[in-house]
Amino acid sequence: MGFLRRRYEQTKTKVTRYTKVAEAGGLYRRYFVMNSFDGALAILGVIVAAYSTGNASARIIVNAGVGLAIATGISGFVGAYLSERAERVKKIKDIEHSIMMGINGSLLYRASKFAMIMLALVDGISPAVAIFITILPVIFYEVLPSSFPLDYAMLTAVLINLTLLALLGAFLGKISQTSVVKYGLMTLVIGVGVVVLLYFTGS
């Protein structure tokens, strides 16, 4: 137990140090919120569009959600990794050019490589998590279809999704040290607007 605790503390210290050196803390938060928001709105569109047809299928919604999670996860990971790698490689080369020596193996070099991977993971995982959380009631219905009507599962999924959007907004409010309620309501209104727009468009 003592060994595991020491390893945990060492890892925590290293992560904190690399994050600070790479100036990635703010990026982690922005990537998490932006991509969770994208994933939440995307799956919200799937559910509302399916409901508005009047012939929704739990299996189709779940399959669409899984496909969307995989696609956005891969897209987010690859896109974030390549863009961050390009920016940080350029930064390292600029530093090497200015000091006229290589910095491979330095703390900044290691921290930059760490930040590339972590930002890519945050970018890829966050929309997938938002999608999975949203479709949990529909997955539960698919496993136990006689437990409650599909309409209830879809309505619960929409409510979970709107709650998630409000929490993301509140998190932004906390980060900006302004109004948690204001930001929460803003993202909630956006979600409700998407529901209304898609429902009446589909109908």
Residue 196 tokens read as: 């209304």
Rounded Cα distance, 139 and 155, in Å: 13
Q: What is the pLDDT of residue 119?
A: 94
pLDDT tens, 116-161?
999 999 999 999 999 999 999 999 999 987 778 999 999 999 999 9
pLDDT tens, 70-112?
999 999 999 999 999 999 999 999 998 898 888 888 999 999 9
Say yes or no to pLDDT of 203 above 80: no
Section 37-52 average pLDDT? 93
Say yes or no to pLDDT of 5 above 80: yes
Q: DSSP string of 158-175?
A: HHHHHHHHHHHHHHHHHH
Residues above pLDDT 90, as percent of the chain: 70
Q: Which residues make Cβ contacts (< 8 Å) with residue 171, sequence separation at least 6?
A: 29, 33, 183
The domain segmentation of the chain, as residue ranges, is: 32-202
Section 169-181 average pLDDT? 90
Residue 129 tokens read as: 């998590």
Is the Cβ–Cβ distance between 187 and 198 less than 8 Å? Answer: no
Give the confidence band of 52 by pLDDT, cuts at 50, 70, 90. confident
Q: What is the pLDDT of residue 194?
A: 92
